[in-house]
Amino acid sequence: MEAVLPAKWAPLAAGVLAVVLIVVVALILRKVAHRLITQVVRRASSGTGGGLAGRLRGRQTVQPEGLDAVAAERRRQRAETIGSVLRPLASILILGTAGLTVLDRLSIPIAPLLTSIGIVGVAIGFGAQELVKDFIAGMFMLLEDQYGVGDVIDAGAAVGTVEAVTLRITRLRDADGRVWYVRNGTITRVGNESQGWSRATVDVPVAYTADVPAVRELLQRVAEEIWEDSAFRDIVIVEEPQVWGIEQISDTAVVFRISAKTIPSHQAEVARELRLRVKAALDREAITIAG
């Protein structure tokens, strides 16, 4: 009798051992996948790639400024968001496969289960078409880096500063402080005022009788002064401001235009500073601003 019991329980013990082994392997694979995703996300967010060049960039201690700092922050946000999507997907694939393998190992028919899951999936798909559309649009939006937190965008339904971006919705705050929640699937076009760089333009109307070469030279000096200011150069302003010359002519005024390329969303700050300096320079030279 004692010799029969081990033989009877051997298949059960082997089955339990196989199930435990499958679960352990699945958990190990899940942990490895999460670690790999985390490493890829960290490398992508820091801008370091493989090879010697990537390692050298990773060792740099100088902090990026201006447009480089903005690009680095956008890269970090995009990489972390994509990583937050890839980790659950990896868990679902690995643990789902492990679950089906365990059921098959326990001699539980999985064909009816898969059929049922397929039917339920189709039903949910029909009922959640808008949700799926939002997620797909959000994924492409993140991959293509159409906009990010801090950008000022025109999303059609609303215009404002992006406060949060998820796979399903984009949260905006407009100039009046109103918060808008826009589903990604409803956004058919986006106007981004903050991507890459912005431009500050200042129009300076002077009297029709003003000395045009003298005014142009004065404005050029103002542009050079703000460019030489360490508080603006390469921190807020990324290129030397340009005096475009006469923009308009009327019977009462000649309008000059100054243009400065700035880091995203700082064009208003630079324009205000330019107006202050232009006003002071015109007052020193007794040049009247036309009405």
CATH at residue 156: 2.30.30.60
| Burial degree of 41 (CB within 10 A; 0-12, 13-18, 19+) | buried
**Judgement on whether residues 73 and 175 belong to the same structural domain of the protein:** no
How confident is residue 51, by pLDDT bands cut at 50, 70 and 90?
very low
Does some domain include residue 2? no
Contact by Cβ (8 Å): 169, 184: yes
Spell 64-102 as b/e; 16+ CB within 10 A means b.
eebbeebbeebbbbbbebbbebbbeebeeebeeebeebb
Q: Average pLDDT in the 194-198 region?
A: 79
The pLDDT score that the predictor gives to residue 225 is: 93
**Can you give the pLDDT at residue 61?**
42
> Which domain, by its residues, includes 97?
12-127
pLDDT score of 216 more than 70: yes
Residue 33 within a domain: yes
261 and 176, same domain (yes or no): no
Q: Is residue 136 part of a domain?
A: no
pLDDT classification of 68: cutoffs 50, 70, 90: low
Q: Per the structure, how many domains does the chain have? A: 3
Range in 38-42, 159-163, 182-186, 210-214 with the lowest mean pLDDT = 38-42
**Distance from C-alpha of 83 to C-alpha of 40, rounded to nearest angstrom:** 8
Within a domain: residue 211? yes
Identify the residue with better confidence: 176 or 42: 176
What are the beta bridge partners of residue 253? 207
What pLDDT score does 60 carry? Answer: 43
* Domain assignment of residue 4, yes or no: no
């997907």: which residue's tokens? 89
The pLDDT confidence band at residue 57, using thresholds 50, 70 and 90, is: very low
Amino acid residing at 196 = G
The yes-or-no verdict on residue 221 having pLDDT over 60 is: yes
pLDDT of residue 207 exceeding 80? yes
- Angle formed at CA 218 by CA 216 and CA 219, multiple of 5 degrees: 65
pLDDT for position 205: 93
Is the residue at 48 inside a domain?
yes
Which pairs from 226-234 meet CB under 8 Å and 24+ separation? 226/260, 226/270, 226/273, 226/274, 226/277, 232/270, 232/273, 234/65, 234/66
User: Minimal CA–CA distance to 202: which of 263, 112, 275?
Assistant: 275
* Euclidean distance between CA atoms 260 and 269, whole angstroms: 11
- 184/203 same-domain check: no
Could you tell me if 260 and 270 are in contact, meaning their C-beta atoms sit under 8 angstroms apart?
yes
Q: What pLDDT score does 102 carry? A: 85
How confident is the model at residue 134, as a pLDDT?
86
The answer to the question of residue 103 being in a domain is: yes
Q: In percent, how much of the chain has pLDDT > 90?
A: 25
User: What's the pLDDT at 115?
Assistant: 76
